[in-house]
Every structure is written in structure tokens, then in C-alpha cells.
Amino acid sequence: MYGGPRSGLAAVSTALLAMSRRLEVRDVLRTIVVSARELLDAEYAALGVPDDHGGFAQFVVDGISAEQWRRIGPLPRQHGILAAMLHQDGPERLADVRQDPRFEGWPAAHPEMSDFLGLPVRDGEEILGALFLANKKGLRGFTDEDEELLSLLAQHAAIALTNARLYERSRELTIAEERSRLAHELHDAVSQKLFSLRLTAQAAAALVDRDPARAKDELQQVAALAAEAADELRAAVTELRPAALDEDGLVATLRTHVHVLDRAHTAHVTFTCDGVRALPSTQEEALLRVAQEALHNALRHSGADRVEVTLAKSPAGGAVLKVVDSGKGFDPQAVRSAGRHLGLVSMRDRADGVGGRLTVHSEPGKGTTIEMEVPGG
């Protein structure tokens, strides 16, 4: 049995139960990495989920601060030791990774690593990710027992990760069904409002000459019905999120979304893009969702008459999204003390989940700026 600082069957059982209880893919990845680092008493641990473009769709680390991770820069590519982990069957144990001929160096802010243990996370023939640890605490380095334990963790990690993916796909189907239902309901509701609006307007026109007072009442009803129809249309824009991200990419999807919002609301909504090309799919989705949430807040809650959305290339090679409104603003410190407000926690979670950073600048009476930066890929 393993003899580390959290030795024994209880420690292993706790880690495996923690994995199985998570339903979100991001939470499963985090639990796997934290459990592996603690159980094997390593200084650093990481798990990369590959994409189809030579990079990583997700890359979760433990043992590195958020600031240090930000300074390291863009997510790593599939090369060197990382690539080997994705194309071999068993574990790879090295006394000093820096002496391996496949080693290609670190980014400037990357911590120094020596002893190394890694292996692929597999579901049958499918490679789900690469799990590795570095810098075993103490003098002896990683052992045969460490290899066995990491292999056990990887087997259970594959099960937990597969289950989480199935859960998210199921949830996406449910959301798609709900969108379809909502679309039908909105169509019916708006159609009814517009039909009533037309009949009332016709009645008002017929009464103008012979009964001006009643005509005035009918025109007031026209105004009320028009306002209700406008509210229904705004609800449609907010709830039915654009599904064209995979086909059209982030820039085109954002531009279309902003254009529709500009037509549906009295506030002037604009979008500009400067030099941003394709990003990893998970980052594009996170940026889109944060933009949607920020726009929803600005248009529904801030009272802004102008909202500006910009997407620009960051100095590090990633992208920076900004949503700036001219609304009433708020006190970010008070919001932080209150816990949850305006979806800020959700937006920060999305940014953190793709290795990005979210900042909020606001002040009562002076509008709000939501800024999200992602490292690229």
C-alpha cells in the first residue's frame, strides 16, 4: 500500500469518491489534478485535454498560483514530453525531465521542474488527456508505487471524465429542447400581441371621426400592446442564444448578436474587432457567454443608452473582450461582499475555466466595464 503523507486506503478512496461526485467536466479535471498531487506528494500536477488543432482545449494545473499561471502565457502546444504522454500506453517516469532529448524548454515564468511522472488518461482507445506530476517532495523521486497509484487514479479519472462529458451532452440536449419550446411559445405570444395590436389600431382609425374620446382610449391600448410585444421580442433575443459559434466563429457570432441587440433595444449597441483570429473552441465559447451575460446586464439593469463591445488581440497573443456601458454603475466592493450579483461569479468561473482573467471596473453613476482576457492557444 502507498506510504505517502495521505497514505492508506482511506486517502485513495476519498480521492476516487471526489472524482465520481463531480458532474461538470471542469470540476472533474480540477479534482483529478488536486487528488494526484496530494496523494503522490508532488509539488506540481497538471492535466491537459487535447483539441484537434495541436493544442489543448483545457489545461488544469495545481501547485501554481493564478498570477504565475497568467505570467506563463498561452496554453502549451502538443509537443515534446506532452505529446509523448498522448501517444503512449503506459506511464513515463524521468529522474530529470530536463535531460530528456524530447525536452524543449520552459516559458520564462515557468517554475523549474526536475523529476517527472506522467501517463495518458484513456477511455478504451480514446485518449482523453495527459496527466503528469513533477518535483516529488523529498529526496528519492517518484517510485514504482507512485506509478501504480497514478495508474489507478487515471483509470478512475477516465470513468469520471467520461461520465461528466455524457452529463454535459445530456444537459446540452435538454437546453436545446428548452430553446425550441421557448421559441414556439414566444412566437405564439408575439403573434397574438401583434394580431391584437392590428385590430385595436383598426378600431381606433374607425372611431377617429365619430368618437374621438373612444379613439383616444383605443390608441392608448395600441401603445400598451406595442410595449408588450417589444418586451416579448427582447426576451427572445436574450433567451435564444446564437448557436452559430461552431460554424461562423466568435467574431461573426458576436457581430450578429450585437446587431440584433442594437435593433431590439433603445440603447445603441456597437461591436468592433481588432486583429483577433480563431481561438481554441473552449475559449471562444467562454468569451461569447461572458459577452452575452455582460450585455444582458447592461441592457436589462444598468439603464445605459450606449453599450460598446470590443474584441482585440492581447499583447501575449490571446484576446481581450471588453463590454463597456454608460449606465448607472455599481460599487464592486459592495457586490463582492454580498457574494453573487449580476452573474459576476458565473463570468469569473468561465474565465478561470479557460485559463483567463476577468476584471470588473465600475462606479456608481459612471457606468461599468467588464474585461476578460484569454491566453490564446
Q: What span, in angstroms and rounded, lies between the C-alpha atoms of 177 and 242?
A: 15
Cell numbers placing 243 = 448557436
> Do strands 92-94 and 56-62 pair parallel, antiparallel, or not at all (unpaired)?
unpaired
pLDDT at residue 169, as a whole number: 73
Judge whether 274 and 313 are in contact, CB under 8 Å: yes
Cell numbers placing 363 = 462606479
Q: Which residues contact 91 (CB under 8 A, 6 or more apart)?
A: 117, 118, 119, 147, 150, 151
Q: What span, in angstroms and rounded, lies between the C-alpha atoms of 257 and 245?
A: 11
Q: How many residues does the chain have?
A: 377
Judge whether 64 and 78 are in contact, CB under 8 Å: no
Judge whether 125 and 78 are in contact, CB under 8 Å: no
Distances 191 to 184, 186, 204 between C-alpha atoms, Å: 10, 8, 20
Sole residue written with cell 482507445? 125
> Along the chain (377 residues), what's the average pLDDT of each consecutive run of 10 residues?
49 67 73 87 89 80 85 76 80 87 81 89 85 86 88 84 77 63 65 73 79 81 75 57 67 86 84 87 88 88 91 88 93 60 76 90 92 87
Cell numbers placing 280 = 481554441
Count other Cβ atoms within 10 Å, centred on residue 153: 22
Cell numbers placing 15 = 480521492
Q: What span, in angstroms and rounded, lies between the C-alpha atoms of 370 and 359?
A: 6
Terminal Cα distance for the chain, rounded: 40
Smallest CA-to-CA distance from 310 within 255, 256, 367 is with: 255
Judge whether 160 and 32 are in contact, CB under 8 Å: yes
pLDDT at residue 266, as a whole number: 81
pLDDT at residue 278, as a whole number: 83
Smallest CA-to-CA distance from 375 within 314, 311, 323, 290 is with: 314
Count other Cβ atoms within 10 Å, centred on residue 131: 27
Judge whether 56 and 132 are in contact, CB under 8 Å: no
Phi and psi based region of residue 356 (left: phi greater than 0; alpha: psi -120 to 50; beta: remaining): beta
Q: What span, in angstroms and rounded, lies between the C-alpha atoms of 348 and 300?
A: 20
Smallest CA-to-CA distance from 48 within 128, 112, 103, 122 is with: 128
Q: Which helix (H) or strand (E) holds 173?
A: helix 144-207
Longest dimension (CA), the chain: 101
